[in-house]
């Protein structure tokens, strides 16, 4: 067993995998929605079923692939920037043959990188919001014929702009990163407690490339952590309304927590089975560990 720092993630390898994921899920979900928009189901004199369906599915796959590529490229670049300046996530890795298991997560390093990357994401989102929000307000004003730009209500809308931007920026740059800090700290702590009982996340690492991940090893950890989080959230929520819902509210909350955890388990199995397939076809995510 040895402590290793995840010092770098290759952006191109992540973008390639994310793009493939985006194309698949975009084809399924976004493509279905786009098919409605293109009139695949005979809505509003569109293109007709066949042409609309095909165009919608292609549109969904292309948009999903582009968004996935950008998300992977930008996300890994942000991680590398943060890891270079404050250090990456430290992991206690146990290599056995071709398999490597994460025995322990260094909670402080995990929480610290989550906080810094969260702040960077928040700054980027806040900039986009600050740039786009004036156009949104102008669009609202312009969409109402009886609301000229010089009207008192129009002035109030533009006057609220500064307060709105301030609130959103604080939420994006401060609140969300702090939530990420606490969430990842708790998740890392739980992982270290759960790993001896249910096993840790196991993957195959070959020449710095994660060639495969054992889906069940990830799904078990995700299931357990999600179940704990959901139990706390749901029970606290139902306890607040106990006077009206009674014991049935607690039972319902527990069932809801179990259902959410089972869904998480199934999704993890599917996602990492898909990752293993894509890694064989396209190459896996390349990472750099340093002692």
Q: Among residues 225, 215, 213, 223, which one has the least CA distance to residue 189?
A: 225
CA–CA gap between residue 50 and residue 46 (Å, rounded): 11
* Domain assignment of residue 126, yes or no: yes
Beta strands, E only, 130-251: 202-206, 209-213
Instruction: Report pLDDT for 192.
Output: 97
State the total domains in the chain. Answer: 3
Instruction: Report pLDDT for 244.
Output: 79
* Residues 207, 178 share a domain: no
The residue from 199, 217, 240 where one domain ends is 199
The position carrying tokens 């604080």 is 170
Q: Strand, coil or helix: what is 45?
A: coil
Instruction: Report pLDDT for 245.
Output: 75
* Residues 109, 58 share a domain: no
Instruction: Report pLDDT for 106.
Output: 97
The residue from 34, 58, 87 where one domain ends is 87
* Residues 171, 206 share a domain: no
C-beta separation of 175 from 195 below 8 A: no
* Residues 173, 190 share a domain: yes
Cβ contacts of 31 within 8 Å, gap of 6 or more:
56, 57, 58, 59, 60, 61
* Domain assignment of residue 92, yes or no: no
Helices marked H in 171-207: 176-198
Per-residue pLDDT of the chain (291 residues; tens, 9 = 90+): 589 999 999 999 999 999 999 999 999 888 777 777 666 555 545 556 667 677 778 888 999 999 999 999 999 999 999 999 999 999 999 988 889 999 999 999 999 999 999 999 999 988 888 787 766 656 555 555 554 445 554 555 555 666 777 788 888 899 999 999 999 999 999 999 999 999 999 999 999 999 999 999 999 999 999 999 999 998 888 888 877 777 888 888 899 999 999 999 999 999 999 999 999 999 999 999 998
* Domain assignment of residue 228, yes or no: yes
Instruction: Report pLDDT for 48.
Output: 62
* Residues 187, 129 share a domain: yes
Cβ contacts of 100 within 8 Å, gap of 6 or more:
93, 94, 202, 203, 204, 205
* Residues 129, 54 share a domain: no
Q: What is the dihedral of CA 227, 3, 118, 194, to 10 degrees?
A: 10
* Residues 127, 73 share a domain: no
* Domain assignment of residue 56, yes or no: yes
* Residues 74, 17 share a domain: yes
Instruction: Report pLDDT for 42.
Output: 55
* Residues 115, 55 share a domain: no
| CA dihedral over 268, 274, 279, 280, signed as positive or negative | positive
Compute how many other C-beta atoms are within 10 angstroms of the C-beta atom of residue 228: 17
Range of the domain at 175: 105-199
* Domain assignment of residue 225, yes or no: yes
| CA dihedral over 58, 275, 281, 91, signed as positive or negative | positive
Q: Among residues 89, 86, 134, 70, which one has the least CA distance to residue 290?
A: 89
Instruction: Report pLDDT for 13.
Output: 97
Instruction: Report pLDDT for 96.
Output: 86
* Residues 220, 170 share a domain: no
* Residues 209, 195 share a domain: no
The residue from 171, 199, 227 where one domain ends is 199
C-beta separation of 261 from 230 below 8 A: yes
Angle in degrees, 0-180, between the axes of helices 11-25 and 49-86, rounded to the nearest 10: 150
* Domain assignment of residue 192, yes or no: yes
* Domain assignment of residue 42, yes or no: yes
* Domain assignment of residue 100, yes or no: no
C-beta separation of 190 from 232 below 8 A: no
């Amino acid at each position: 067993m040895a402590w290793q720092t995840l010092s770098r993630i290759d952006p191109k390898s992540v973008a390639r995998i994310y793009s493939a994921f985006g194309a698949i899920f975009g084809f399924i979900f976004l493509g279905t929605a786009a098919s409605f928009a293109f009139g695949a189901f005979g809505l509003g004199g569109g293109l007709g079923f066949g042409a609309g369906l095909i165009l919608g599915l292609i549109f969904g796959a292309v948009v999903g692939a582009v968004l996935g590529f950008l998300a992977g490229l930008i996300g890994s670049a942000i991680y590398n920037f943060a890891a270079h300046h404050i250090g990456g996530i430290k992991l206690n890795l146990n290599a056995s043959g071709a398999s490597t298991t994460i025995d322990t997560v260094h909670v402080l390093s995990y929480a610290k990188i989550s906080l810094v990357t969260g702040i960077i994401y928040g700054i980027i989102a806040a900039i986009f919001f600050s740039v786009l929000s004036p156009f949104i307000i102008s669009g609202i004003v312009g969409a109402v014929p009886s609301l000229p730009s010089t009207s008192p209500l129009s002035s109030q809308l533009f006057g609220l702009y500064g307060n709105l931007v301030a609130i959103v920026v604080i939420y994006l740059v401060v609140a969300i990163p702090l939530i990420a800090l606490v969430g990842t700290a708790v998740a890392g702590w739980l992982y270290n407690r759960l790993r001896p009982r249910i096993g840790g996340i196991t993957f195959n690492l070959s020449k710095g490339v994660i060639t495969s991940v054992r889906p069940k090893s990830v799904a078990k950890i995700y299931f357990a952590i999600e179940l704990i989080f959901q139990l706390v959230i749901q029970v606290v929520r139902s306890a607040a309304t106990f006077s009206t819902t009674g014991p049935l509210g607690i039972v319902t909350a527990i069932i809801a927590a179990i259902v959410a955890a089972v869904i998480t388990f199934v999704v993890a199995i599917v996602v990492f089975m898909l990752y293993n397939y894509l890694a064989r076809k396209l190459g896996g995510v390349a990472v750099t560990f340093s002692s």
